[in-house]
Structure 1
Amino acid sequence: MKIERIHHVAYRCLDAKTTVEWYQKHLGMDFVLAIAEDKVPSTKADDPYMHLFLDAGQGNVLAFFELPTAKPMGRDENTPAWVQHIAFKVGSVAELESKKAELEAAGIEVIGVTDHTIFKSIYFFDPNGHRIELAADVGTPEMYAKLDACKWEMLEEWSRTKRAPKQAAWMHEKEFHPA
């Protein structure tokens, strides 16, 4: 078996309607499906939910569950807020900068534009507290080839030392030299 693509990625939300409206307004996602049950089909648990699905483009679906009888949402207190996030690709840095201005005009705090050398991105939070990243690719074929050539060596070194390998340090030092 080979995975074809991600069918959907699901997160919890505070309010289904607010979530749909926010993703439509700020990220242009279409609301494509809602499913609601009083019992969870897989576990048979009594746990009413609203499961909603949003079109994130090119067959990608972002889904949310509102669980009105469950304990309040929380975050893993041992994981920094910047780690867990949903990243969406946009077409250009100009689109990224335009969206940043639009979000800020709507009162949404935005971090960035952050330069990651092979892409630039902005970060902000949705109304549920999920961190969102919008990213525009800017890398060259040579940059991607250089990263591809060292990925296994980096992984092995990390696995042994738990210290950041330096094979791709050029990305943050802004000193790319083709091989």
Structure 2
Amino acid sequence: MNTPRPLKIDRIHHVAYRCKDAKQTVEWYGRMLKMDFMLAIAEDRVPSTKAPDPYMHIFLDAGSGNVLAFFELPTQPEMGRDPNTPAWVQHIAFRVADRETLLAYKAHLEAEGVEVLGVTDHGAFHSIYMFDPNGHRVELACPDPEEADMLRRMDEVKWKMLEDWSLTKRAPKHAAFFHEREFKPAAEATR
């Protein structure tokens, strides 16, 4: 008798966003973030709904089996943002190996004329932020040397934090340690 396998997600197959121009998007991610162009699919009808809606669907290698995809939809109204959601909320974050790599990306992006925010110290990780040519916010993050301890401590309080948030809609202070350590001066943080 075969025992059914438990339901469990293996990993993300791909994450898809809309883009204004597929070629520009492939070139930007290749030049700025060093992602390889993997695949392009173009159809005149949506395979799942059969709706007549021509599209170009592009796929980029985001490392370690992760795939970032985009759709260019030339017959649809111009893409926009949800006006009720701040621009910093919806984003995609990519992990880089370490702070040295993060700082090298920051220098590379700035040399290419990309406006970069950060380095921001989040406790367990450090991040820089920018926008792609489609207006999507992109984050690059590297682990902090104390990442394992910070994440262990965060894990211990996650359910209590979620329950308290659910009841009050106010930031619980169970993990205040996450942002309360001594921060480096801004000049030192960008080195």
Report % sequence identity.
69
- Tell me which residue corresponds to 1:49: 55
- TM-score norm. by structure 2 comes to 0.90
Q: Is the 8 A contact 2:123 2:147 kept in 1?
A: no
- Tell me which residue corresponds to 1:26: 32
Q: Is the 8 A contact 2:124 2:178 kept in 1?
A: yes
| Amino acid across the alignment from 1:86 | I
| Amino acid across the alignment from 1:156 | E
Aligned partners of 1:17, 1:8: CA distance in 2, in Å?
19
- RMSD of the alignment, in Å? 0.9
- Tell me which residue corresponds to 2:187: none
| Amino acid across the alignment from 2:39 | L
CA drift at 1:131: 0.2
Aligned partners of 1:140, 1:108: CA distance in 2, in Å?
28
- Tell me which residue corresponds to 2:164: 157
Aligned partners of 1:70, 1:140: CA distance in 2, in Å?
43
SS at 1:49 equivalent: strand
1:166 aligns with 2:173: yes
Aligned partners of 1:19, 1:45: CA distance in 2, in Å?
25
1:126 aligns with 2:132: yes
Aligned partners of 2:147, 2:72: CA distance in 1, in Å?
41
- Tell me which residue corresponds to 1:109: 115
Aligned partners of 2:87, 2:150: CA distance in 1, in Å?
29
| Amino acid across the alignment from 2:19 | C
CA drift at 1:38: 0.4
CA drift at 1:143: 1.7
Q: Paired residue for 1:144, among 151, 163, 167?
A: 151
SS at 1:76 equivalent: coil
- TM-score norm. by structure 1 comes to 0.96
Mapping of residues 12-23 of structure 1, within 5 Å = 12-23=18-29
1:94 aligns with 2:100: yes
| Amino acid across the alignment from 2:181 | K
CA drift at 1:170: 1.2
Aligned partners of 1:101, 1:28: CA distance in 2, in Å?
14
Deviations 1:18-74 (A, max 9, x none): 000111111111111110000111111111000000010111000000000100000
Unaligned 5+ segments in structure 2 are: 1-6, 183-191
Q: Paired residue for 1:5, among 11, 20, 23?
A: 11
Unaligned 5+ segments in structure 1 are: none
Q: Segments of 4+ in structure 1 off by > 2 A?
A: 139-142
SS at 2:179 equivalent: helix
